[in-house]
Structure formats: C-alpha cells, structure tokens
Amino acid sequence: MTKSLASKTLAAPSAFALLVGLALTGCANLERHAVPVEASQNDDDAYCKQSAGPQGSNPYVACRKDRDVQRGRADNRLESQHRNLAERMLNGQ
C-alpha cells in the first residue's frame, strides 16, 4: 500500500511538470515568424536601389530608413498581438 501511495504522490507533480513544459514550448517558439536579418536587408537593398537610386544617395538612405521604421512597427504589432493573446488566455476570455 505504501508503494502505490508513493507512486501516486510522484505521478501528480510529474504530470503537472509535463503539462507546464508543453505549454511553455509554444512561448519559446515566438521567433518562428522572424525573417532572417540578411534576407530582409537584401530585399530592402534591392527595393531601394530600384525605387530610390544608387546606394549612398540621399533618396536611397531615406528609403532604407523608412523600410527600417516599417519593419520595426510590424515587429511591434506582432509582439503586441502575442501579448494580448497571452493576456486573454490568462484571463479566461
């Protein structure tokens, strides 16, 4: 009887730890939406060369700055959506 009691007392914390671990794996994978920096810089470079002119010119620099701002806003929007989702899940909504 003590053997089954010991196995029951160990099973509950183990199951809880397993559930918590599985729940946290989704949080650890937030970077799955991230585009590699080199790829996005190459895209920006090609776009700005085509639309604004040669590399180093004032319109090119302004284009690159605008693209960086747009990317930052998109990243912030995605992070905000993740935070809002987590809050709704925690609040049971």
Domain boundaries, the chain: 2-28+36-91
Neighbours of 72 (CB within 10 A): 10
| Segment 21-33 mean pLDDT | 58
Give the residue, 32 or 81, on which the prediction is more confident: 81
Q: If pLDDT is split at 50, 70 and 90, which confidence band does 25 have?
A: low
Q: If pLDDT is split at 50, 70 and 90, which confidence band does 39 have?
A: low
CB-based contact 41:10 (threshold 8 Å): no
pLDDT for 32 beyond 60: no
Distance CA 7, CA 28 (A): 31
**Of 39, 41, 60, nearest in space to 49 by CA:** 60
CB-based contact 33:78 (threshold 8 Å): yes
